[in-house]
Structures are given as C-alpha cells and as structure tokens.
A and B are shown apart, each in its own frame.
Chain A
Amino acid sequence: MNNCRKPSININNLRVAAGGATILSVEKASLQGPGIVQLLGPNGAGKTTLLRAIAGLAPATGSVEVCGVVVTGNPEAAGRFVAYMPQDAPSKTSGFPVTPRELLNAALRLRGEEGNVESILEAVGLDKEYWDTPLDGLSGGSRQKVFLARTLLLRRPVILLDEPFSALDPQSRLRAAEIVAREAESALIVVSSHDPELLMDHTRLIVLLSGGRIVEAGTPSEVMRLEVLERVYGGLVVELGGHLHIREGH
C-alpha cells in the first residue's frame, strides 16, 4: 500500500496558477508528522489550493514531496500516501442511488484494499439507519460524515481534510474532532478550518495563509495571538473566554 516510515510533507518553490495569475506561492515548507497541522486564513487565502497541491491534484510547478516521494501534479503517486477529504463533501450528490456503504466499499475496491467499513461509519457517528440510504437523501452533515469516514478508512500516513466539520452540529463536531485527534497519533493530518479551537489541544503547528502565501507559521501559542491574527483577519478576531475566535462571515 505505502512505504512511509515517518509521514512528512516538504515543499519547495511551489507555484499554482489559474487564469494567468499565481494563486499560491510557497517558497519552502516542511511539515513533519505524526500530528495535526492547521491551515488558517480567510476565503481565497489558498488553503484549498495548498491541500490540492499536496495531493497532486492542482497543476503546479516546483516540488511537493510526500513521504520523500515527489508528487507534484501526480495524484496517482500522491494517493499511495495521501487521503483527501474535499471541501464540498456536504454538497456532493450522485444523481443515481448510491449508499454510504457502497461508496466506502468502492473506495477500497478501486485500490484493491480491504478495510472495516462498518466500524468507521460507526466511529464518525453516522446513524446506522443511513448506512444503506441513498447519498442524495442524506443531510449535508451526514454526507460530510460519509466523506470523513471514507478518508479515514484508507489509513494513509498523510491525511488532508478541507473544512471537515463545516456542516456538522456541535455534538458531531466534537465527536469527529476526537476521531481526527486519535488518527493524528500515527498520521500527519493537515486540516483547513475556520474553527481552529476544535483541534487546538492536539495541534502541533499552525500555518497562516493570506493572498496565496504563508504569512506566519508556528505553534498555537506563537500564532494564536491577537496581533498576528489581526494581520490576516482584521477586526474579525474576537477574544471570548480567554480564547481567540474568528467571527463567521469571512
């Protein structure tokens, strides 16, 4: 399946362009696992583009290495080490009946691998009655659980999660965050989120993006400071109960 002793991502001179303009530019970055790395930044900062570039899904120049293997623009190479949960999971529809159980089995079958579909569906908190319900009949939150389950099911050393909790209710968010934190004991998990507090206790590194560039990177105590966050979010940062929060609507 994969041969990755220590999960890692190394980026050198990465550029991603769209419509003639550079939308992501990262000179150098090194993310070492296991553990959680959070990507923060407002809409259009480049979080999704960076995750897609790491997965080899974005047309890019420069070099992205995952577990020591160059995967730039090569999803087939990246897929040996990377599992990727897309941002649009809550709105994914099939237009043809397909159940969560079938989808997860298909993900395994495409790779010629085996896994415990039922236990992961249970772990992410998808009610059993929905396991055999067509995807199009599920709520956005339930669909997000399905794709979180699919991503974790693949047991990859590097897991990329793009807004994995955005459609979940508070209780489900906590449960999903617990599972992600548990998975981070053995995998390098890179999470893009507008709710950084959820995983903060387990976060090793925060990368702050703005305008397609990394503007700050460090431990939570180094980055989660008012003067640092305000450089990116402006007046949307508020302090509540001793924690910094980024207001919705950015």
Chain B
Amino acid sequence: MPSGRGVFGIQIAALILLSIAGLAYTATVDIVWALLFAGLGLLYGSASALASARGLQYLVAVAPHAALMAAGIAPLLLGLAGLGASGSSLTLVTLLVGVPTVAISAYLAGRSRSRDEVVSGFLAVSVTVAIVGIHVAARLGYWAPVSALIAGDPLLAGGLEALVVALIGVVAGVYAATSIVIHVYQRVDPDDARLSGARTYIHDAAVIAVIAVVTVGLVWITGFIIQHVLLLLPAIAASRLAGSARHAVVASIAVAAAASTAGTAAAIAVDVPPAAGIGLVLLLLTGAALAARRR
C-alpha cells in the first residue's frame, strides 16, 4: 500500500491527467479556449489556496460582488462616454471600477470589528448598483451582455486575452507556491508576524491583487455565479488531500485546473456554457476529495 505521500502523488497525477485530457479535447475545438481555461485553472487554484491560507473567506464573498457591480455599470459607463462596448473595453472598464472597489472593501471589512455587517451592506449595495446599471443601460439602448455576466462567455476573450490570462496564471501559481507558508503563518500567529518586522503588507497587497484579478478581470468570461465556487472549493478539496501547505497549494491548483479544463471539455461535448461544466466537475472532484481518506 503506498505511503501518504505516495497516495498524494497518485492523486495529483490523476488530476494532471484529467487536465491534459480536458485540455487536449478543448484544443481540438478551439486552441484559444484551451489556453484560456488552463490559465483560469491556475489562477483560481492559486487564489483559492491563498484566500484559504489567510482566512480571507469574507473577501471571497466580497470580491465577486465587486466584480458584479463593476461589470453591471461598465456597459452604462461605456455608453455614456460614447465608446463602443466590446469584450476588451468591458473588461477594461470593469477592472478600472472593480479593482479599487475590491481593495477598498477588503480594507474596510478587514479593519472592521463587525465584519459581517460591512460585508452584508456591501453585498446589498453591489447587487443594487449592478441591477440599476444594467437596467438603465438597456433602457438607453447600450449593449449589455447580461447572460455573459451571469453565466460567462469565453467568446469575449480573444487570443491575446487568453495568453495574458495564462501568463498571469503561471505567475500567480509560482507566487502562491513560494509564499503560501508565509500566508498561513500570518494567519496562525499574526503577533509574531508583526514582531518579525517583515514587510507583510506586500503579501497582503499581493493576495488582494490575485483575488481582484480572478474576480473582476475574469467576470465576463467565467460569469458571476461560478466565481464563489471556484474560489472556495479548490482549497477545500486541497485541504482534504494534502498534509502540508506546499502540497495543499499544488493540490488546489491541480483541482482547479482539472475542473476548468475537463469541465470546459464536458461543456463543449454537451453544448452548455463552460461555467456549468466547470461547476459540475469541481463539485465531483471536491466530493471525491472529501470522501478520500487523508494520510
């Protein structure tokens, strides 16, 4: 019978094989989609591990809503500015509005003693602004792809966007793998992190940046609905499979990549939006991980 590490190695190998299979199938249909969803898996796997390691569950709740709000008013802002709406321009405006919103809400919720109240208030505001923005944009006749905002539309990303997502995914993966123990340490013993004199605010900014990118930057591609799931489940599955922080970040990325690529392939095969396939595969993988016995 293989040892704990041996079992973990087999599990990761199985996830990589699943990713390769999904990637290969998707590439036969559309190479851009294959690149896009591989990068997406890397990004969400890294963000999920980082958020879990730091105990930033409140940010996982807040960031997709910041993305929803920013994306909800992006068509209106573009229309009022007299600019044409396209996948790139929508993403750009969403980033310009959404990233500062994530940063500010993270700061306010993080500093507040009544965090739940701040998060609840922000969720109410973000949903309201998003709905009003979409409604007014539609009344004024501006193009607002609501279904993309809800369920995602990979067609809004071109080859360049897919390449950028893949490259950022690699950077996020490397950052998560090399810094994860520092993030866990900051959570476990914040007093000692302060005593260390280390510039921990750099890691604070980095983790918020990664979460902002995967939510605000990708909301038109993934859709709002799947974002919470993609941020939460990979780390939950990884925590069950792995026995150390370094193994957990590898597992989180492997689970997210497998769900993203195999889920997209499955979605293509049955002709549903990729978000649906990704959600289903992620759910199955997480269920399997929870059922598996950790060493």
Contact = CB atoms under 8 A, between A and B. Distances in A.
A98 B188 contact: yes
Indicate the member of B49, B55, B195, B245 with the most A CB atoms within 10 Å: B195
A103 interface: yes
Given A96-B245, A103-B185, A76 B53 contact: no
B197 A111 contact: yes
Given A94-B184, A110-B182, A75 B239 contact: no
Interface in A96-114: 96-99, 102-103, 105-107, 109-111
A167 to B, nearest CB: 16
Interface in B10-56: 49, 52-53, 55
A94 B196 contact: no
B292 to A, nearest CB: 14
A92 B188 contact: yes
B191 A57 contact: yes
B245 A99 contact: yes
B191 A109 contact: no
B258 interface: no
A167 B239 CA distance: 26
A75 B198 CA distance: 11
A86 interface: yes
A103 B183 CA distance: 10
B6 interface: no
Contact of A99 (B196, B235, B244): B244
B181 interface: yes
B201 to A, nearest CB: 12
A111 B181 contact: no
A78 B194 CA distance: 10
A3 to B, nearest CB: 15
Given A102-B181, A109-B182, A135 B188 contact: yes
A95 B239 CA distance: 8
B55 to A, nearest CB: 6
A56 B194 CA distance: 10
Nearest to A101: B244
A242 to B, nearest CB: 39
Contacts of A133: 243
A102 B245 contact: yes
Centre residue among A95, A99, A133 by max chain B CB count within 10 A:
A95
A84 interface: yes
A52 B190 CA distance: 13
B231 interface: no
Given A96-B52, A105-B181, A110-B185, A132 B244 contact: yes
Interface string B160-194: 00000000000000000000011011011101111
Interface residues of A, number: 35
B118 to A, nearest CB: 21
Nearest to B295: A133
A65 to B, nearest CB: 16
B187 A94 contact: yes
Contacts of B70: none
A62 interface: no
B248 interface: yes
A79 B194 contact: yes
Contact of B184 (A75, A78, A86, A96): A96
A94 B186 CA distance: 10
Contacts of A150: 189, 192
A79 B244 contact: no
Contacts of A246: none
B246 A102 contact: yes
Given A105-B181, A135-B188, A97 B195 contact: no
Contacts of A34: none
A82 B188 contact: no
A24 B188 CA distance: 27
B247 interface: yes
B257 interface: no
9 contacts: A95-B239, A96-B55, A96-B187, A98-B245, A102-B184, A106-B184, A111-B198, A134-B244, A150-B189
Interface of B: 49, 52-53, 55, 181-182, 184-185, 187-189, 191-198, 200, 235, 238-239, 242-248
Given A79-B195, A84-B195, 19 more contacts: A55-B195, A76-B194, A83-B195, A84-B192, A86-B191, A94-B188, A95-B52, A96-B239, A96-B245, A97-B238, A97-B247, A98-B188, A99-B245, A102-B244, A103-B181, A106-B184, A132-B243, A134-B243, A134-B244
